[in-house]
């Protein structure tokens, strides 16, 4: 069982001015794939709050996977990748590369995503877009490899040959 946290990064969502459809569809997809969503929160695009939530989910809750959604674009308030970089110990560039490659088949705007992925302790953190469609497409692009990567991270598997 992969223990997961979903963090929606949205100024409007955190104020109750927008319904978080993206977090809901991610939760639905994860549960369908037998992931256990143990934590969910909506927070504003504020560096300190994003960093605090990422550390809480990784260090205190000890989830295996944190999926953020929102804050990966070009807007002045889009700072999710920078917050993620502050807390990770190792980057995992192949994950956002695969997501962008897959998304480029759908829209040329995919190249504008600044999403990152990385490891903090035994937690994999992945930034996803804020739109429900984009978040699901990006997550589905990398899901086939996630379980194996997390098993290696947790010390439950050692071979990556195939």
**pLDDT tens profile 78-110:** 999 999 999 999 999 999 999 999 999 999 999
Average pLDDT for residues 8-14, to the nearest whole number? 96
- How large is the average pLDDT for residues 14-37? 97
Instruction: Kindly list the structural domains of the chain, giving each domain's residue range(s) and its CATH number in brackets, ordered by start.
Output: 2-153 (3.40.980.10)
State mean pLDDT over 32-46: 97
The answer on pLDDT for 35 being more than 90 is yes
What mean pLDDT comes out for the span 25-45?
A: 98
Mind listing the pLDDT tens digit for each residue in 56-86?
999 999 999 999 999 999 999 999 999 999 9
- CA distances 77 to 26, 39, 46, 106, Å, are 23, 24, 8, 26
Give the pLDDT of residue 74. 97
- pLDDT confidence of 162, banded at 50, 70, 90? low
pLDDT > 70? residue 113: yes
pTM over 0.85? The answer is yes
Residue 160: its pLDDT value, please?
Answer: 61
How many Cα atoms sit within 13 Å of 102 on the Cβ side? Answer: 17
Q: Average pLDDT for residues 28-55, to the nearest whole number? A: 98
């Amino acid at each position: 069982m992969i223990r997961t946290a979903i963090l929606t990064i949205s100024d409007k969502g955190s104020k109750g001015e927008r319904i978080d459809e993206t977090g809901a569809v991610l939760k639905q997809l994860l549960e369908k794939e037998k992931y256990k969503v143990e934590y969910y929160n909506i927070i504003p695009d504020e560096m300190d709050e994003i960093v605090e939530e990422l550390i809480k989910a990784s260090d205190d809750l000890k989830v295996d996977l944190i999926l953020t959604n929102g804050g990966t674009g070009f807007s002045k308030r889009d700072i999710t990748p920078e917050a993620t970089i502050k807390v990770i110990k190792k980057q995992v560039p192949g994950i956002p590369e695969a997501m962008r490659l897959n998304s480029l088949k759908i829209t040329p705007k995919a190249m504008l995503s600044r999403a990152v992925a990385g490891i903090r302790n035994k937690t994999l953190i992945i930034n996803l877009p804020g739109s429900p469609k984009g978040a699901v497409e990006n997550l589905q692009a990398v899901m086939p490899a996630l379980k194996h990567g997390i098993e290696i991270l947790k010390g439950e598997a050692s071979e990556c040959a195939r």
